[in-house]
Copies of this chain bind each other. A is one copy, B any other.
Amino acid sequence: MEDQQVGSLRFHIDFSQPLYEQILDQVRSAIAKGEIGLGDKMPSVRELAQELRVNPNTVMRAYQELERDGLTEKRRGQGTFVTSSPEHVRSFRTALAAKYIDSFMDQMESLGLTWNDIQSYIEQKYDAEEGGSMR
């Protein structure tokens, strides 16, 4: 699949998952990682839809979820903007991470794996170090 750049946002869209979900995840990621700055203007619904060759309603769905998450704010007639509140980003990131981690731990438990099993695998595969990043 091909990557697409729209403003400061990068997208890789395929058909493995719902389109609105991929848009949602990738914008979330960009905000969480600071690839798009606090207060920055997002692409308009119509523009992003056109760039990604997707229906405006599909982009809308992703944008509405982003606002519910507190990651964006809308200004009538002006557009959609990334929240200016670092706390909003931080708390959302924490909550989502917790959700992912809990779900992951349930999966591991269902396979009968211990925490040490997981650590072994990860440290071996990702070569994690004290204080290092994951890559």
A residues adjacent to B (C-beta < 8 A): 25, 28-29, 32-34, 93, 96-98, 100-101, 104-105, 107-118, 121-122, 125-126, 128, 130-135
Q: Point out the residues of chain B lying under 8 angstroms from A110, CB to CB.
A: 25, 28-29, 32-33
Q: Point out the residues of chain B lying under 8 angstroms from A126, CB to CB.
A: 105, 115
Would you call A98 and B121 a contact (CB within 8 A)?
A: yes
Report the Cα distance A114→B105, complex, angstroms: 17
Shortest CB-to-CB span from A104 to chain B, Å, is: 4
Q: Point out the residues of chain B lying under 8 angstroms from A108, CB to CB.
A: 97, 100, 134
Q: Point out the residues of chain B lying under 8 angstroms from A104, CB to CB.
A: 100, 104, 107
Report the Cα distance A118→B134, complex, angstroms: 10
